Chains A and B, each alone.
Chain A
Amino acid sequence: MKEYYLGVDVGSVSTNIVIMDENNNVVVKKYIRTKGKPIKAIQFGLKEIKEEIGEIEVKGVGTTGSGRYLASILIGADIVKNEITAHAVAALNYIPDVKTILEIGGQDSKIIILRDGIVTDFAMNTVCAAGTGSFLDRQAARLGIDIKEFGELALKSNNPVRIAGRCAVFAESDMIHKQQLGHNQEDIINGLCEALVRNYLSNVGKGKEILAPVIFQGGVAANVGIKRAFEKALDMEVYVPEHYDVMGAIGSAILARNEVKSKESSKFKGFEVADIDYKVKGFECNDCANMCEVIQILAEDKVIARWGDKCGKWTNLSDINLQRLA
């Protein structure tokens, strides 16, 4: 029987699930909008996968993304890793000598610098959303165009308009102003792509040595306008891998494969978790001045995990130690 590995990346905008075989090939991938309901998104994805490929034996499970702890509780993960490591592992799978990873997702954007296949430096956006996918999403919605057409439209421009890119608020008012002056839409969109790249390079990429080969991944990599803006700004070729949108999930599946090598069995709870009725209940603990917001995850009205308390007395009631990190 073939061996399969499950990778789950629960992000702010999308929840990505992949099944990979033992040769690190993607068998199935699911890109689901999280829409603020990570549990539903994970269950929906698992259900679809099960319907698509039937019963398979999953040898290992890895989770990543901002909802990685939640996901690990729901489906039983062998390894829980941050996005930086997961993205780097996935990129190395496609270009073994990759030196720079540009990653732009919904809420985070990051740059990862690798030398000889090892992460030597990274940076993430700090407090600014101007260089992220959510911002593009919002602007596309405001202009009334589908985000999928955004990049194509940018390519049609031959006279880009300069848009202020330092701050999402400035960018938006600048755009509106340019619109009212009568600039055409393609030029404004292209200007926005260039502004986003400029902001990314000076904010996230500041002070980093960007060497080729450069790989561009994350949801925003779908946008050919941004890709071209990167190539123009860096003056080098930028690769977008085939599965650019689920690289985090791919990375965690590969990590899971390495993790279970030394183990007997996986912690995977099976595809049945898609049918379990999960509930999340939060409460404020008023036992001391910390007033922690404690989160409880219930499966069929039974508490399976708790976290969020500083002192650990609630987490102690459930028995998995790693949750205390969350």
Chain B
Amino acid sequence: MKITFPHMGNTYIAVKAMFEDFGLEVVVPPKCSKRTLELGTKYSPESICLPLKINIGNYIESIEKGADTILITGSCGPCRFGFYPVIEREILKDLGYDVDIIVFDPPDGNYKELINNITRAVNTKNPIKMLKSFNRGRIILKEVDKLFEFSNKIRAYAVNSYEVDEIMQRFSEDVLKVKGVIETRKLIRRTFEELEKVEIDNTKRPLRIGIVGEIYTVIEPYVNLDIERKLGHMGVWVDKFLTTSRWVEHNLKPSFLGLSEEKKAWEAAKPYIRTLVGGHGRETVGSAIMYAEKGYDGVIQLLPFSCMPEIVAETILKTVRKDYDIPILTLIVDELTGETGYVTRLEAFVDLLKRRREERNFERVLFRS
């Protein structure tokens, strides 16, 4: 059995290490590229949202490298993501690929089905071994997300922000060469240390921007045209509301252990939107409010073209923007790879935030004197 899975940001690092610990062979799909997108758009329904197209591209490229089993998470959510496993299975069948697809739906209280599927995937019935490995995977996921969060901070403070890029590029090359949980964690630690050595300028007061929106677009850098890096080089310290580790936390943590970030976002969104609108629409509204309350300079909403839940959120964000007096920029991504228009919007937004901050500082000085 050779396992593969779709790309979603850094998730592959944890999944790879975890399944390697089970003694399974893992085929990490080649990094998302133009070819991935081309294959995906060729074989997917034209009107479907972008993540599915990228998924299909990932699968085909992995199958070419010898993968025969695909792991996917489901969502049960009333957005098109809920249909992904079914449609993807049909597309691959039509293309004549003989692969096994195992779907992990979030348990939503019922863990039996999930455990059944996990047993199928990992080839072991020993629950202790399973839980242990799973937990280690979760830890890596958390550490990797922390590492990237840290790199975002350093990029904003660094004297030469491109040094950070070089370190992270090396990391993403090396992580494919190491095997299993222990080696992966060692590499993460080493990269942390390298980042700490980057020369920083402590007098900088970087702008803070929170990124909210549709989870896949927020997490996968190929799809969002590397927004974190682009903003980092403009001197912005970026925070993403959604990361894979937070998603896992939200879906698997029993509720008596306290509120997950997503549930806090539901609370925050309550005055505007009280119910699920599919996908992460509710979280988008809530998280934008949370960023505003934390004193962020601005919020950027990302969504793939035609994403229904985020279109609902986009409309509500206009009111949030007024009520909380925080600039919010909405960016829609599709299969475009020309970045000029995208960069223009980001630059103009950062300019706007800079000037707002100068204004505010000026007012504060006036008020004090």
Contact surface of A with B, Cβ cutoff 8 Å:
66-67, 81-85, 107-108, 118-122, 124, 126-127, 206-207, 288-291, 310-312, 321, 324-326
Contacts and interface: CB of A to CB of B under 8 A. Distances in A.
Given A119-B351, A291-B34, A312-B165, A206 B318 contact: yes
A321 B173 CA distance: 24
A121 B340 CA distance: 20
A66 B318 CA distance: 27
B255 interface: no
Nearest to B234: A325
Interface in B232-246: 233-234
A122 B348 contact: yes
Contacts of B226: 310
Interface string B28-41: 00110111000000
Nearest to A87: B348
Contacts of A84: 344, 348, 351-352
B348 A127 contact: no
Given A126-B332, A127-B334, A119 B173 contact: no
Contact of A82 (B347, B356, B359): B347
B271 interface: no
Given A107-B341, A325-B233, 11 more contacts: A82-B343, A82-B348, A108-B341, A108-B344, A124-B345, A126-B331, A127-B305, A310-B169, A311-B169, A312-B165, A312-B169
Contacts of B331: 126
B348 A85 contact: yes
7 contacts: A82-B347, A85-B348, A108-B341, A122-B352, A126-B330, A289-B31, A324-B233
B355 to A, nearest CB: 6
- The 4 A-B pairs with the shortest beta carbon distances in the complex, nearest first, are A84-B348, A289-B31, A207-B318, A82-B347
B327 A121 contact: yes
Nearest to A64: B344
B247 interface: no
Contacts of A67: 340
Contacts of B334: 127
**Chain A CB within 10 A, most for which of B321, B339, B343:** B343
Contact of A321 (B162, B234, B318): B162
Contacts of A321: 162
B264 interface: no
B33 A290 contact: yes
Contacts of B318: 206-207
A291 B327 contact: no
A107 B331 CA distance: 17
Nearest to A115: B359
Nearest to A308: B339
Contacts of B347: 81-82
Contacts of B34: 291
Given A85-B348, A85-B351, A119-B355, A289 B343 contact: no
B332 A120 contact: no
Nearest to A316: B162
Contacts of B348: 82-85, 122, 124
A133 to B, nearest CB: 15
A120 B35 CA distance: 40
B191 to A, nearest CB: 16
Nearest to B36: A289
A118 B355 contact: yes
Contacts of A81: 347
Interface string B335-365: 0000111011101110110011001000000
Nearest to B303: A126
Contacts of A290: 31, 33
A80 B162 CA distance: 20
B323 interface: no
A118 B359 contact: yes
B230 interface: yes
A120 B356 contact: yes
A195 to B, nearest CB: 22
Given A82-B348, A82-B351, A291 B341 contact: no
A288 B355 contact: no
Interface string B149-174: 00000000000001001100100010
Interface in B21-60: 30-31, 33-35
A320 to B, nearest CB: 12
**Chain A CB within 10 A, most for which of B230, B234, B332, B348:** B348
Contacts of A310: 169, 226
B169 A66 contact: no
Interface string B171-212: 001000000000000000000000000000000000000000
Given A108-B341, A127-B305, A311-B165, A289 B351 contact: no
